[in-house]
A and B are shown apart, each in its own frame.
Chain A
């Protein structure tokens, strides 16, 4: 059945057909829903994705490995560092390359900074979609400092191109750690408490989010959810801890899971709260990484022309939106034979399709915001 038939069928029945998007303020990017609704109750919200499909997987097949790193930035513009990291991990596994310790620590510092930035947007824009504009500005204000820090680090504020196969592109600039420490001192617990006072415990937000679009643990696993969305449903699974990579085994951190903070386990409020708790864990990780940062090289001796042996590898990192994996197939040439990018938003979007039935129309916006969808990550 194609879209035209779906429209005709809905129009013939008792249901109202509503088009939401592709340009809708709450979709944060170009996503379209065909909503079949009976009054205000949704019977199905069919996502129509692909508006941002740029064929990144196809581009990879015509690119030398090192030249592809800037393209990975465009997979997820709110958390580009993880895309860098996952891709170089996949190539390094294939090459059997040992990355210097200092480079691993710099990667983790960059990653965790990016996670805070991405979660700030997620929780801020979630409040904004519900109708509270101010928390978003508070989030943006803090994120601006992180953007400045990444600009110091690699010159980019959104698309970083920071990591290299075998290391990172630049060492820390002068004064970076001091500024980062200053930010952390203010951020955790100061800012997080302020944010919770401002919006986290706000009665309107709680009422809008608690018990809305509840996803149980079994259902979440079945739908392939990942990252904070999965953990909000009570599944304690974090690639940083459970399939460790980089220097995470050296660092201590907790994995927050949902427990029905204000409503039921796995509801939209849990997804909101898990992200706030994760930000404070990221701050904890950053403090340890600064403390333990070793001296040494930042780049392994990688060949100038990267030509991995024939074989396959899967480089996965815990991105702000969950398991971000690059499945790489090489035939021994200078370009990949196939590169598949597995993203968190892709599975979250499928979950939204499944969970929309029975929701109120206004709750679709809450569900969409709480799942932290980034459109280019779905379409690639």
Chain B
């Protein structure tokens, strides 16, 4: 079974919650309504014929007008990777956590919160992961501006060579 057949099955099962297959290039995806992400992931994990037991990654994507969160899942039995996405509001991106479905999501969600500011509702421990706790802003957002100082340490430096 290839990716398209799995997307087809998902659409049959959740007709108004899973979109048409979208995206260009070698990896296509489906968009899931943010409120339905939990039930879709549970269905993918628990249905015997699919068996998506491995959450490979969760990644944020800043499209300037919206923030997307991408979920990459691998099925050990079908040997295929699929990509699900949710589209979130740019100013206040919020989605339910999936860390109770795949515990691996715990750190992936913390990282996405840290770098994109996506709030995962119901996450047991939503703290910054990679950056210091008192860091301001979410650096992987396209509109991120670095503060000139962090604890009185300059965050920029003069160029080493005489370039401007």
Interface positions of A (Cβ within 8 A of B):
1-3, 49-50, 53, 55, 57-58, 93-94, 96, 221-224, 235, 237, 242-243, 308-314, 316, 323, 325, 327, 329-330, 337-338, 340, 342, 346-347, 349-350, 354, 379-380
Q: A325-B57, A337-B61, A338-B62 are in contact. Are A313 and B129 (CB under 8 A)?
A: no
Quick check: B62 and A347 within 8 Å, CB to CB?
Answer: no
**Contact residues of B between 90 and 115, Cβ < 8 Å to A:** 102-104, 106-107, 115
Q: A93-B26, A223-B103, A338-B62 are in contact. Are A242 and B79 (CB under 8 A)?
A: yes
A selection of 27 A-B contacts at a CB cut-off of 8 Å is A1-B125, A50-B129, A50-B130, A50-B132, A57-B140, A58-B139, A93-B25, A94-B26, A221-B54, A222-B102, A224-B56, A242-B76, A312-B23, A312-B25, A314-B27, A314-B72, A325-B57, A325-B72, A327-B59, A340-B59, A342-B57, A342-B72, A346-B107, A349-B107, A350-B106, A350-B107, A354-B103
Please, which residue of chain B has its CB at the minimum distance from the CB of A312?
B27
Please, which residue of chain B has its CB at the minimum distance from the CB of A332?
B24
Quick check: B103 and A53 within 8 Å, CB to CB?
Answer: no
3 A-B pairs with least C-beta separation: A311-B25, A224-B104, A340-B59
Q: Collect the chain B residues with CB atoms within 8 Å of residue A93's CB.
A: 25-27
Quick check: B24 and A224 within 8 Å, CB to CB?
Answer: no
Please, which residue of chain A has its CB at the minimum distance from the CB of B53?
A221
Quick check: B27 and A311 within 8 Å, CB to CB?
Answer: yes
Quick check: B76 and A94 within 8 Å, CB to CB?
Answer: no
Q: Collect the chain B residues with CB atoms within 8 Å of residue A316's CB.
A: 56, 81
| Shortest Cβ gap from A359 to chain B (Å) | 18
Q: Collect the chain A residues with CB atoms within 8 Å of residue B127's CB.
A: 1-3
For residue B30, CB closer than 8 A to chain A, the reply is no
Give how many B residues have a beta carbon under 8 Å from the other chain's beta carbons: 39
Quick check: A313 and B25 within 8 Å, CB to CB?
Answer: yes
Q: Collect the chain A residues with CB atoms within 8 Å of residue B133's CB.
A: 2-3
Q: Collect the chain A residues with CB atoms within 8 Å of residue B76's CB.
A: 221, 235, 237, 242
Q: Collect the chain A residues with CB atoms within 8 Å of residue B70's CB.
A: 327, 340
| Shortest Cβ gap from B73 to chain A (Å) | 10
Please, which residue of chain B has its CB at the minimum distance from the CB of A330?
B25
Q: Collect the chain A residues with CB atoms within 8 Å of residue B129's CB.
A: 49-50
Select one of B54, B81, B83, B130 contacting A224, CB under 8 A.
Answer: B54
Select one of B25, B57, B83, B130 contacting A309, CB under 8 A.
Answer: B25
Q: A13 to B149, alpha carbons, bound, how many Å?
A: 37
Quick check: B25 and A338 within 8 Å, CB to CB?
Answer: no
For residue B131, CB closer than 8 A to chain A, the reply is yes
Q: Collect the chain B residues with CB atoms within 8 Å of residue A235's CB.
A: 76
Q: A146 to B97, alpha carbons, bound, how many Å?
A: 44
For residue B55, CB closer than 8 A to chain A, the reply is yes
Contact with A along B43-76 (1 / 0, CB 8 A): 0000000000111110111100000001010101
Quick check: B79 and A327 within 8 Å, CB to CB?
Answer: no
Q: A1 to B29, alpha carbons, bound, how many Å?
A: 35
Q: A55 to B146, alpha carbons, bound, how many Å?
A: 13
Quick check: A310 and B25 within 8 Å, CB to CB?
Answer: yes
| Shortest Cβ gap from A248 to chain B (Å) | 14
| Shortest Cβ gap from B145 to chain A (Å) | 13
Quick check: B104 and A350 within 8 Å, CB to CB?
Answer: yes
Select one of A223, A311, A340 contacting B104, CB under 8 A.
Answer: A223
Quick check: A340 and B26 within 8 Å, CB to CB?
Answer: no
| Shortest Cβ gap from B154 to chain A (Å) | 16
Please, which residue of chain B has its CB at the minimum distance from the CB of A235?
B76
Chain A CB within 10 A, most for which of B24, B29, B102: B24
Please, which residue of chain A has its CB at the minimum distance from the CB of B76?
A237
Known: A94-B25, A243-B81. 8 other contacts (CB 8 A): A49-B129, A50-B128, A57-B140, A93-B27, A323-B74, A325-B56, A325-B57, A347-B104
